[in-house]
Amino acid sequence: MRDQDEAQEKRTSRRAFLRAGLATGGAVLGGGALAAPQAAGNPKNQPPHVADWSRTLGDGVAVRAYGKPSKHEANVIRRDVQWLTAARESSVSFTPIHELDGIITPNGVCFERHHAGIAEIAPADYRLIVHGLVDKPLVFTLDDLKRMPRVNRAYFCECAANSGMEWRGAQLNGAQYTHGMVHCVMYTGVPLRVLLQEAGLKPNAKWLLLEGGDAAAMTRSLPLQKALDDALVAYRMNGEMLYPENGYPARIVLPGWEANMWVKWLRRIEVGDQPWHQREETSKYTDLLENGKARRFTYVMDAKSVITGPSPQAPLNHKSGFTVLSGLAWSGRGKIARVDVSLDGGRNWRTARLDGPVWDKALTRFYYEFDWDGRELLLQSRAMDESGYVQPTKNALRKIRGVNSIYHNNGIQTWHVHKSGEVENVEVS
């Protein structure tokens, strides 16, 4: 029944799209009466006229030695929320996920989170020390790392505090702010396992301490099993060397695990037989429950999704008709198996279309095309991963976790689309 409904809906959408296409076609010929306001532009640059940019020579090669987006895309930037933190050196800026598509985050707009500002490290000065319960302590230079076996993998990196401001109710108006502490880039690096094999592990080795070279000297304990499984010491993102804000020249990549552990400006790895109980795994990055107890070492990021458009910063600027809904889904437990979308606050669900690669522990893009009748909508998306886990509602999450937490909020997000096309962050009960 559901499949039939969907097939029917797809046909309707297709027809609606064709209708819309014809209408626009007619409008252009008839003088643009139906053109959307933002598409109006300057008629002198539009057919049948020869546009300004066709009359003069443009910049030559290498004038733009390092390319930048068009000046018309000045909105596609990281943003911070100033009241969230006292100082920019210990703060966060969010990925403009509402302005992006596909699954790869461009390097210049990956969210950044630092506890003591960006460490500026000269590559020649960079050293990575591996010591503790090893046969021979080692010091690696950046060139040493680059001469070791190399892999390329795309992974999402999500701060455990992503959506952390939404525990007590809808608060921030924009997918960038509610869900933008996530990015997904193609890392190039050395499997951490290779470095550890080089140093030789003592039989009682069970945990690693990862330490950053920034002024915060960020330190986290890592179970050896993860280090031997899929952890990387990465020095490139999307082909380029890591950007300073993301840990230049080297950081740890822990696929599917909370980003706080992805130590940037990595300077030291100590091998031990038990966890160190550092600040970032006791006072912070633990999840306080209703009964006053706190969950600790909650490493994995559970399946989550968000509709990036329409969303508060990406409203609808047509009044009805063919509409493309787009969003992101991810899971720290593997691949995304399915994403469902609701237009009515979770009463009815339809299966979204996954498009582009569906990679293990990477962002996955979904779309849902529909014919908008111009009425109000309550948009939701619900991710399922290959382990069978289903993204919970915010209320289901609160029943178990209470509202004291900051971290690991993967509840279903609701966007209220008004008739005007404006979109608002809301909750449905």
Contacts for 288 with CB less than 8 Å, ≥ 6 apart: 294, 402, 404, 405
Sole binder of ligand MTE in the list 159, 190, 271, 397 (CB under 6 A)? 159
Q: What distance in Å separates the CA atoms of residue 315 and residue 400, rounded to the nearest whole number?
A: 33
**96, 100, 94: which is closest to 112 by C-alpha?**
94
Binding partner of residue 379 among ligand MTE, Co ion, none, CB cut-off 5 to 8 Å per kind: none
Task: Tell me: does residue 263 bind ligand MTE (CB under 6 A).
Answer: yes
Cα separation, 311 vs 298, in Å, equals: 29
Tokens matching residue 150:
């190399």
| Number of residues in contact with ligand MTE under rule CB under 6 A | 21
The nearer residue to Co ion, 133 or 159, going by C-beta atoms, is: 159
**Helix (H), strand (E) at residue 400:** helix 394-401
Minimum distance between the CB of residue 85 and ligand MTE, rounded to whole angstroms?
12
Interaction between residue 100 and Co ion (CB under 5 A): no
Q: What angle do CA 75, 92, 169 make, to 5 degrees?
A: 90
- Token couple for 7: 């097939």
407 binds ligand MTE (CB under 6 A): no
CB of residue 337 to Co ion, shortest distance in Å: 27
Nearer to ligand MTE, 78 or 398 (CB): 78
Contact 302, 282 (CB under 8 A): no
Does the protein bind ligand MTE through residue 218 (CB under 6 A)?
yes
Query: Cα separation of 313 and 98, whole Å?
Result: 7
Q: Which residue, judged by CB position, is nearest to ligand MTE in the bound state?
A: 212
C-alpha of 410 from chain center: 13
Kindly state the smallest distance separating residue 284's Cβ from ligand MTE, in Å: 9
Output b/e per residue, 244-281; b: 16+ Cβ within 10 A.
Answer: ebbbbbbbbbbbbbbbbbbbbbbbbbbbbeebbebebb
Under rule CB under 6 A, residue 322 binds ligand MTE: no
What residue 180 binds from ligand MTE, Co ion, none (CB within 5 to 8 A, per partner kind)? none
Q: Is residue 159 within the footprint of Co ion (CB under 5 A)?
A: yes
- Contact partner at residue 112 from ligand MTE, Co ion, none, CB < 5 to 8 Å by partner kind: ligand MTE
Determine the interface stretch with Co ion among 218-226, 251-259, 308-316, 349-357 (rule: CB under 5 A). 251-259
| Residues near Co ion, by CB under 5 A | 113, 159, 259-260
| Residues near ligand MTE, by CB under 6 A | 110-115, 157, 159, 183, 212, 214, 216, 218, 245-246, 259-260, 262-265
